[in-house]
């Protein structure tokens, strides 16, 4: 029975490696295209949510012993899976430090249209 479990874990590990390689290849293909990379990240987040809210929740332990074992495994293997989002500050890293007035972010939505001259009818 232990051999069956090891064989199953190896198969899953191989499948995960294939998935990881495919995602890395897709990311390399999209390199330089921020919209395509954002779409890739959104798809990964969607898959994460679908697995977590569906199959994973349906597979949660139904007794304390199995729950304890799962929690021990989560703790031992690095915690709960999490997809971190970038903070706005990280987007600003590539902008020049001395911004000219036309590149300065507006202080409020009112500042977007400073005068009626900026509107074209």
Is the pTM above the cut of 0.75? no
Q: Which two tokens stand for residue 30?
A: 């999209």
- Dihedral pair phi/psi, residue 93, rounded to 5°: -60, -40
Average per-residue pLDDT in the chain? 83
Does position 117 have pLDDT exceeding 70, yes or no?
Answer: no
Q: Which two tokens stand for residue 21?
A: 């390689």
Query: What CA–CA distance (Å, rounded) separates 18 from 10?
Result: 12
Does position 82 have pLDDT exceeding 50, yes or no?
Answer: yes
Among 1-5, 45-49, 58-62, 69-73, which stretch is predicted with the lowest mean pLDDT? 1-5
User: How many of the other CB atoms lie within 10 Å of CB of 30?
Assistant: 16
């Amino acid at each position: 029975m232990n051999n069956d479990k090891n064989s199953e874990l190896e198969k899953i590990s191989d499948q995960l490696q294939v998935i990881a390689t495919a995602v890395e290849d897709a990311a390399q293909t999209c390199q330089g295209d921020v919209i395509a990379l954002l779409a890739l990240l959104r798809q990964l987040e969607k898959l994460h949510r679908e697995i977590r809210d569906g199959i994973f929740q349906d597979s949660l332990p139904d007794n304390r012993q199995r729950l304890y074992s799962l929690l021990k495994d989560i703790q031992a293997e690095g915690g709960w899976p999490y997809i971190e989002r970038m903070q706005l500050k990280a987007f600003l890293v590539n902008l020049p430090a001395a911004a000219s007035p036309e590149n300065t972010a507006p202080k409020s939505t009112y500042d977007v249209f400073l005068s009626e001259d900026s509107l074209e009818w």
